[in-house]
Chain A
């Protein structure tokens, strides 16, 4: 078959164009690329969509101060929708197609469970800003999280309750059975923490996270009143549970976990939320640094047309992670050259493991990564009081 001149020209043009073709987000000369595994859609977006604003603030800080070792920092963003499989796709795209030096994210524990092992195989650091399930970074070399695990945080919450003389003679547990962290809370974290604190658990009930009617489960709890009801669920089911508990006459205190830490909780639950406690690793009113960050965040979210203008602890964590990466790159003297990429990814990891010696202080306070890859962070125990979030006490140890 004779080759037509038009086909020959097309083939030649395509061959000439090949070297110019590279993935849209790929690292270019003179810049350092960070992959950002972001949740902009899906069921978790209510809490996590604003992470982008915090990350862009940090990026502006770094590049505004001259970049890193003379090079600009650039972000490539991938919306995982909170889906673990997509988080794994994001890790592979950043590492293999775009030549990123490290990955900010994935956000949630469910995503980390799938994406962290991929990062281990690819030899690229990932650092989660929202994952709080215990043990999520255990026995991994490239996995970090700038969060504190739920068991540590809940133990501290119980200590604060005891120190403040709050009634805690008996407890019951209600949790979402089909969501990873909520299930961990209901079946592992809460029972263990109550056992350690010597608080008997009277009843444990579960509910599907999508359930709109939880009257049957709450009726079971209200039948045997307890001083505390521990609630394992993300913010939206948590609001439903709190309202139903109060509707059915629960008089005791409701305590939650980091996953229901939401700056808008008082507004969402109204008077029913009065007295509710939860731990968080960011409190906007803590000091000048956190207040300045909160003011800039509010400006950024308003500019982006977003609904929430108060930073969530995952926003603060994402902001700090970008600064931590920038500092690790600076210390590792990374160049972003493709031939040195694998070695520079390892060098970033090694610098992060030595972080305690940096004396770093971000909006989450003085922090570093421990042996297991989890950050050393405070538990700020917050109480919903008078329609506002009030800091009861901050615990850094224990």
Chain B
């Protein structure tokens, strides 16, 4: 029974990693851009929901959409001053590390602003429900984590449909293949690229809200720990592959919990990062990635 409980714990934890990993991998896959501001937008989703509800006094059904909108706005701000700025000025946005460093700057900026406004303390997040756990035959399942996992899969399914069957999706895939060719074919890049950042902002902020609902705590650094595992999940799943990010997230969550179960918490990082290192040696493109992703765009 305890083993099964730990499997459930691992999958639930993996669901959270997966949602953030999808954000990372989507931007990499479309734009070849490792966007380090994602943990910051994740944090904004959680802490702004809290701020609108607790100091702001709004009901959750108003606070959460406002926080998601703020996450999208923050993501567009990052696009404007990192990605678009570099492309407009140098005609190239990803051949060097400046946008990556700028996005890291945005992460620090978002964290700093939140710390100035609400302090470094952990804030209790009010749950709209009395009990957020489900007990089935001695097994404990966290409802927000189930929702998180289901939502991640539903959103990725929706994204797959959009990319495969709509005009917007075709344009995005064309950009992912070759932005210059896409532009020659008449795709309006300055109008299309923000769509990628809107999706990223929405996914990241939503993951932050679900995290807050599950752990009932928010702070300005809540994105830090999840970011490294989400990036690892992205690499495990394969850069640019959204379903791979889901699989990578679940695998990493399971691996983390099983490491704790069998060996204790002290070896989590050694086990998880060691396994990642071995995987990269054997299969550098990850479980579901293509070797071409990340080469020669923009």
Q: Which residues of A pack against B, CB within 8 Å?
A: 41, 43, 45-46, 49, 177, 205-208, 210-213, 215-217, 219-220, 223, 235-236, 239-240, 243, 247-249, 267-270, 307-308
Does B216 count as interface, using CB distance less than 8 angstroms? Answer: yes
Q: Is A216 touching B219 in the complex (CB atoms < 8 A)?
A: no
Closest to A210 in B: B225
CA gap between A239 and B216 in the complex, in Å: 10
- Tell me if A205 and B119 are in contact (CB < 8 A): no
Which residues of chain A have C-beta atoms less than 8 A from B268's C-beta? Answer: 208
Those of B10-32 within 8 Å (CB) of chain A: 10, 12-13, 16
Q: List residues of chain B with CB within 8 A of the CB of A243.
A: 215-217
**CA A268 to CA B119, docked complex, whole Å:** 14
The answer on a CB contact under 8 Å between B2 and A267 is no
Residues of B within 8 A of A269 (CB): 124
Which residue of B124, B219, B265 is within 8 Å of A211 (Cβ)?
B265
B266 near A268 with CB under 8 A, answer no
Cβ-defined contact, B261 with A206, below 8 A: no
How near does chain A come to B277, taking the closest CB pair, in angstroms?
A: 19
Given the complex of chains A and B, what is the CA–CA distance between A239 and B226 in angstroms?
19
Q: Are the C-beta atoms of B265 and A207 separated by less than 8 Å? A: yes
B257 within 8 A of A: yes
On whether the beta carbons of B217 and A307 are closer than 8 Å, the reply is no
Smallest CB-CB A-B distances: 8 pairs? A206-B265, A216-B257, A216-B260, A215-B9, A46-B121, A236-B122, A210-B225, A207-B265
Q: In the bound complex, what is the Cα–Cα distance between A41 and B2 (angstroms)?
A: 41
Within 8 A of A (CB), among B225-260: 225-226, 256-257, 260
> A45-B120, A239-B122, A307-B121 are contacts. A219–B9 as well, Cβ < 8 Å?
yes
- Residues on A with beta carbons closer than 8 Å to the beta carbon of B222: 212
Q: How far is the CA of A223 from the CA of B4 in the complex (A)?
A: 13
Least distance between B121 CB and chain A CB atoms (Å): 5
Chain B residues in 8 Å Cβ range of A177 = 265-266
Alpha-carbon gap, A232 to B118, bound state (A): 26
Interface readout for B98-132 with A: 1 if CB under 8 Å, 0 if not?
00000000000000000000011110100000001
Judged by a CB distance under 8 angstroms, whether B158 is at the interface is no
Known A-B contacts A46-B121, A177-B265, A239-B217; A212 and B6 likewise in contact (beta carbons under 8 Å): no
**B260 lies within 8 A of A217 (CB):** yes
Distance in angstroms from B214 CB to nearest chain A CB is: 8
Contact B264 A216 (CB under 8 A): no
Given A207-B265, A219-B9, A247-B133: A212 in contact with B211 (beta carbons within 8 A)? yes
Chain A residues with CB under 8 A of B224: 210
- Chain B 141-156, CB-CB to A under 8 Å as 1, else 0, gives 0100000000000000
B275 within 8 Å of A (CB atoms): no
Q: Are B215 and A212 in contact (CB under 8 A)?
A: yes
CB distance from A183 to the nearest CB of B (A): 10
Complex alpha-carbon distance, A249 and B135, angstroms: 10
On whether the beta carbons of A236 and B215 are closer than 8 Å, the reply is no
Q: Determine whether the beta carbon of B257 is less than 8 Å from that of A46.
A: no
Q: Chain B nearest CB: distance from A204 CB in Å?
A: 9
**A residues within 8 A CB of B5?**
219
For B2, give its contact among A223, A268, A308 (CB under 8 Å): A223
Instruction: Give the residues from 270 to 288 in chain B that come closer than 8 angstroms, CB to CB, to chain A.
Output: none
Given contacts A210-B224, A219-B2, A247-B142, 13 further A-B contacts (CB under 8 A): A49-B120, A206-B264, A206-B265, A216-B257, A217-B260, A217-B265, A219-B9, A223-B2, A243-B215, A243-B217, A248-B140, A267-B124, A268-B124
Out of A43, A205, A215, A270, which one reaches B265, CB within 8 Å? A205
CB < 8 Å neighbour of A220 from B12, B121, B140, B261: B261
